[in-house]
């Protein structure tokens, strides 16, 4: 069984940045990249809001740059997926899907969160070509255009309101006959002149040539008033929630009801000595690459301080 001083589980901005800091601190970090090496940004087209890229950069290329920087400082990159953990006592045990098992003095959890989708094949087909799960990330590309947001909670209303400041028109597609959002967010959406709320609507599919051009909708599905029709849109934003990839850690660390790992104050500490959480797995609020990168740096700094006490 291999023993590791600093184990980083998950890649993306949080994991790779933690690897950079841990490598420069001579912690000999080992990083397991998981199911999506580079994280969610590898599915994004152009990134314009990450410092250091004044002309913008493709998401995949940016993550490759950060990955290479981590390797430069000696991070050992591996491709297996963590499937089981035992954090009951140090050194901690982690099992991977390639039948390997390691122990570690410190662990940085950077497994991210996965956006929830409707389950349509069209969502995959138009991913990066009109379909997005992050209005803050991609809304800039839809200035003066028409977009749709799916969802009825606070996140959906916030994203619709944000997009209304950029787009020409915003549809908010709501499955139920009411909004689940807080009263103030409901008011902002319902009173906004650029936002049209489509209650009791479901999305049946998407269409377009090279890029998304519209959506197939059904109103009052399963009722005598059922109606099918299309709307013309340039962007389709999912806002029905994210699932943090924290299942294998939940027996040992505290999480909220959704599964986001709870950390202590402004730190990445999880409450388990030597175990830290960084990035979207512990961030239900911002979910931005620059924020994840910063939290990865904090986690590595905390890991170095912890190891110095052993």
Residue 36's nearest CA partner among 4, 68, 67 is 67
What is residue 209's DSSP assignment? S
Residue 93 CB partners (closer than 8 Å, separation 6+): 85, 86, 101, 102, 103
- Say whether 4 sits in a helix, a strand or coil: strand
Catalytic residue among 105, 122, 138, 234: 138
First and final C-alpha spacing in the chain: 21
Residue 118's nearest CA partner among 234, 6, 204 is 204
CB-neighbour burial class of residue 54 (10 A; exposed 0-12, middle 13-18, buried 19+): exposed
Catalytic residue among 134, 234, 280, 283: 134
Q: In angstroms, rounded to a whole number, what is the distance separating the alpha carbons of residues 272 and 165?
A: 43
DSSP secondary structure string for all residues of 96-155: ETTS-EEEEEEEEE---EEE-----HHHHHTBTTTEES-HHHHGGGGTTSEEEEE--SHH
Residue 137 falls in the annotated catalytic set:
yes
Element (H, E) at 214: strand 214-219
Catalytic residue among 6, 137, 234, 283: 137
Residue 6 falls in the annotated catalytic set:
no
- Say whether 168 sits in a helix, a strand or coil: coil
Residue 157 falls in the annotated catalytic set:
no
Before 16, cis peptide (omega within 30)? no
Task: Please list the active-site residues.
Answer: 134, 137-138
């Amino acid at each position: 069984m291999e023993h590791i001083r600093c184990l980083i589980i998950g890649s993306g901005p949080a994991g790779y940045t933690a690897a950079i800091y841990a490598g420069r601190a001579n912690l000999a970090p080992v990083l397991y990249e998981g199911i999506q090496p580079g994280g969610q940004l590898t599915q994004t087209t152009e990134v314009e809001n990450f410092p250091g890229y004044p002309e913008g950069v493709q998401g995949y290329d940016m993550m490759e740059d950060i990955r290479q920087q981590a390797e430069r400082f000696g991070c050992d990159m591996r491709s297996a997926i963590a499937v089981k953990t035992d954090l009951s006592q140090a050194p901690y045990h982690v099992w991977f899907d390639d039948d390997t098992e390691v122990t570690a003095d410190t662990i940085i959890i950077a497994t991210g969160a996965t956006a929830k989708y409707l389950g349509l094949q069209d969502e995959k087909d138009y991913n990066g070509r009109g379909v997005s799960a992050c209005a803050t990330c991609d809304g800039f590309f839809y200035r003066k255009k028409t977009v749709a947001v799916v969802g009825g909670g606070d996140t959906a209303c916030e994203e619709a309101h944000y997009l209304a400041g950029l787009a020409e028109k915003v549809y908010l597609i709501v499955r139920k006959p009411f909004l689940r959002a807080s009263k103030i967010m409901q008011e902002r959406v319902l009173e906004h002149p650029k936002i049209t709320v489509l209650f009791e609507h479901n999305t049946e599919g998407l269409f377009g040539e090279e890029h998304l051009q519209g959506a197939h909708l059904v109103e009052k599905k399963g009722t005598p008033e059922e109606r099918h029709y299309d709307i013309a849109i340039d962007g389709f934003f999912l806002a029905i929630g994210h699932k943090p990839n924290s299942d294998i850690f939940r027996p040992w660390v505290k999480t909220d009801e959704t599964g986001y790992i709870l950390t202590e104050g402004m730190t990445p500490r999880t409450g388990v000595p030597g175990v830290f959480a960084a990035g979207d797995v512990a961030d239900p609020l911002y979910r931005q690459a620059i924020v994840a990168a910063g939290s990865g740096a904090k986690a590595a700094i905390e890991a170095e301080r912890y190891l110095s006490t052993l």
